[in-house]
Structure 1
Amino acid sequence: MFEAQTTTRVRYSETDQMGYVYYGNYAMYYEIGRVETLRQLGFSYNEMENAGVMMPVLNMNTNYHLPGRYDELLTIKVKIPSFPKARILFQYEIFNEKDQLINSGETTLVFINMKSNRPCRVPNELVEFLEPYFS
């Protein structure tokens, strides 16, 4: 299993009239966590796309525990619990400044060859970065 975390501050534009994080913005927080997790591994999502592989979201599940609020610094914890093949699972926990769990969820992404628009295996470069965490 690989684990990483990053932080982001809730901007005013991400909130509703009550000052709570608008529910649809949690998908964006998941993306921030996902990209930063790969970056912490030493892997570049941008370079993967330049090499012809993209990772669209296949499905997303989310659970709302407490509201996130304007100007809070959120901690996004991300786990890759299993070694990817043609799909990769990311699990998320988002905490507020009081270290309270405000949201949890997961996304499954699929590796797609951009030329054929068909599923493909996990890129070798990502395999090399992940192998030490799953041996």
Structure 2
Amino acid sequence: MYQSETSIRVRYGETDQMGYVYYGFYAMYYEVARVESLRQLGISYKEVEAMGIIMPVLENHSKYLAPGRYDELLRIVTTIREKPSIKIKFEYEIFNEENRLINRGETLLVFVDKATNRPCRPPQAMEDVLAPFFT
């Protein structure tokens, strides 16, 4: 299992009239968290794409437990529980400044060869950096 943490400050434009994070922005928070999660592993999305692999999202799920609020610093814990194959699942837990869990989510992505537009295995570099977490 691999786990990382990322922080995001809620900006005014991400909130609704009540000062709560608009629900659509949680997908963006998930994206930031998973990009930073891979970066913390030592491989970036940019590098994966340079290897000829893209990672479109197949599924996106969210459960809203409490509102995020304007100007809060949110902590996102990103977890990869299973060794990736053709697909990779990221799980997210978002905590507010009081360390209260306010959102749970997950995204399922597929590895796709840019040249053929067909599903494929993850690039070897990604498998190598993740290997120690799945022995």
Normalised by the length of structure 2, the TM-score is 0.99
> What residue number does 2:89 align with?
89
- Tell me the distance in 2 between the aligned counterparts of 1:99 and 1:34: 20
Equivalent AA in structure 1 for residue 38 of structure 2: L
Q: Distance in 2 between matches of 1:114 and 1:128?
A: 21
1:41 and 2:6 matched = no
Identity of aligned residues (%): 58
Contact 2:94/2:103 (CA < 8 Å) preserved in 1? yes
Where structure 1 has 5 or more consecutive residues not aligned to the other structure, the ranges are none
Q: Does 1:50 align with 2:41?
A: no
Instruction: Kindly provide the CA deviation profile for residues 81-105 of structure 1, in whole angstroms up to 9, marking residues without a partner as x.
Output: 0000000000000000000001001
1:122 to partner: Cα distance: 1.0
Output the aligned Cα RMSD. Answer: 0.5
How far 1:21 moved relative to its partner?
0.1
TM-score by length of 1: 0.99
* Displacement of 1:130: 0.4
Q: Does 1:60 align with 2:60?
A: yes
Where do 4+ consecutive residues of structure 1 move more than 3 Å? none
Q: Which amino acid aligns with 1:132?
A: P
Q: How many residues align?
A: 135
Once the 2 structures are TM-superposed, how far is the Cα of residue 44 of structure 1 from its aligned partner?
A: 1.2
Asked if 1:118 corresponds to 2:93, the answer is no
SS of 1:23's partner is coil
Letter in 1 for 2:85: K
Kept after mapping to 1: 8 A contact 2:94/2:104:
yes
